[in-house]
Structure 1
């Protein structure tokens, strides 16, 4: 699969586009408007320049030359794999998959979602080819973290799953991305977020109740449990809106109280305090 399409050029979409281009693939990124397309391109340029400066990349310009950013969804018609990385909203994703079903002309193309929590079945059934729809869930930051969750639905064909695995795990330079996969059942949250989000929500509830400060909660997990980052700092990195969306998806599926977003998280999202992306969440970022 040499021709890659990425729908959405935010943090995750740009990261997927970057690792695909660094692996030698021809990449097209589509965005909803010209402003967001410019922002996506700037995100890619900054990340690649940083990698080159650190000696992790021979030439940022060569990699960037493999990527085209456009506002034309029809540009992904000839792609071998198209990965959706838009907002974590089931209605928006389902509508996009309906459109991709008509836009992508290759009969063997894989239509994938980078969703963190939405069941893949709900996206596959709106297309005429649910056997070719699969979850390929990368982790942020995509160029750094090795894990990818593969999430087939009940209708995803074994061939699609194995083609996706071969692409993700294949050696860089030999058609693959050089990452590692785990297999997940098609349940909200999959493996990592089904474990991680309740943990983060518990930390938010602890902070909300006044039990401890944000700094002490995070310091406790870093120094006492050898976590590389505390749960509230991690929530800021993920994005509080994304954290809330995943929690809501988990609660909708399992109806377990531990998955329900705490009131403080709801209010922070309402206020636009989304973490690092808005420079303010549980911490303030310069």
Structure 2
């Protein structure tokens, strides 16, 4: 058996972060996206993220760096990655798009290859009901930035098999990450709790009861939140946050998950957080 390798689908913020983590731990990765413009910038973005990870001490400077390969389709990825040890889907939080992609992946990768969906809110079993080999599907909620946050939420769906769970344990070990296994359901644990809190924080600002800075300062100083909920929203990506809140609201009916009008306005205005240079705070050119 050759060197373990990964294929990561999606060259957005999360896909780039996951690919950075994989190559930073010395493993080869094939990064896949249908957007050629994203692929053209992918190698440079991974290099930049690696440099930042080394500066922050979140990835080891010693040891080899894994090879980064680029592919524009599932078939090309299967050819490039040969027998990938893990396939990680990290595209936008849209259940239909994720299901269609997993069908493509299942058609070209060997049966039994673990398929990991990086999702913050969509139940794993919802996807499993639409794709081949549901036993191969497992959820892993990588946090942003993936190379910095050492604990991950692992979601075992009702149809997830032990082989897939074992593969995830091997992946986390190779990446130097700790996984906490939780039950399936909309938002799992982290998003079910955090996203509702961020939504409430945005509503407080919208109602004029406190400024953005004061909300974050109170949550940091009084409750020990490391960055404050609204600065966290900028890190997550406000567009991604609204997508996740929509998933939670549609599947739970919880009014606390109906996206704040302030969040919606920021998405409409293109103020998505750090990745666009402006969200609740200013960050300069992305």
**Structures share a fold, TM > 0.5?**
yes
In the alignment, structure 1 residue 183 sits paired with structure 2 residue 181: yes
Which residue does 1:73 correspond to in 2?
Answer: 74
Q: 2:211 aligns with which of 210, 213, 236?
A: 213
Distance 2:244 2:8 in 1: 21
Q: Give, in whole Å, the separation in 1 of the partners of 2:18 and 2:6.
A: 10
Question: Which residue matches 2:121?
Answer: 117
Correspondence for 1:15 among 13, 17, 21:
17
In the alignment, the residues of structure 2 paired with residue 160 and residue 285 of structure 1 have an alpha-carbon distance, to the nearest angstrom, of: 39
**Alignment check: 8 A CA contact 1:76 1:82 kept:** no
- In the TM superposition, residue 236 of structure 1 has moved relative to its aligned partner by 1.0
Give the Cα separation in 2 of the matches to 1:264 and 1:47: 30
Compare 182-191 and 50-59 and name the one that shifted more: 50-59
Q: Which residue of 1 aligns with 2:244?
A: 246
Q: Displacement, 1:21? A: 1.8
Pick closer, same or farther for the CA change 1:233–1:54 going to 2, 3 Å: closer
Residue of 2, 5, 9 corresponding to 2:4: 2
Q: 2:100 aligns with which of 95, 103, 109?
A: 95
CA RMSD of aligned residues (A): 1.8
Tell me the SS of whatever aligns to 1:86.
Answer: coil
Equivalent position of 1:226 in the other structure: 224
Alpha-carbon distance in 1 for matches of 2:52, 2:85: 29
In 2, the alpha carbon distance for the partners of 1:87 and 1:239 equals 11
Stretches of structure 1 lacking an aligned partner (at least 5 in a row): 171-175
- With over 3 angstroms needed to count, the CA separation of the structure-2 counterparts of 1:52 and 1:277, relative to structure 1, is closer
Structure 2 portions without partners, runs of 5+? none
Distance in 1 (alpha carbons) for counterparts of 2:52 and 2:273: 22
Question: What does residue range 131-280 of structure 1 map to in structure 2 within 5 Å?
Answer: 131-168=135-172, 170=173, 176-280=174-278
CA contact 1:218–1:233 (8 Å) conserved in 2: yes
State the partner residue of 1:173: none
Of the structure 1 ranges 106-115 and 51-60, higher mean CA displacement relative to structure 2 is found in 51-60
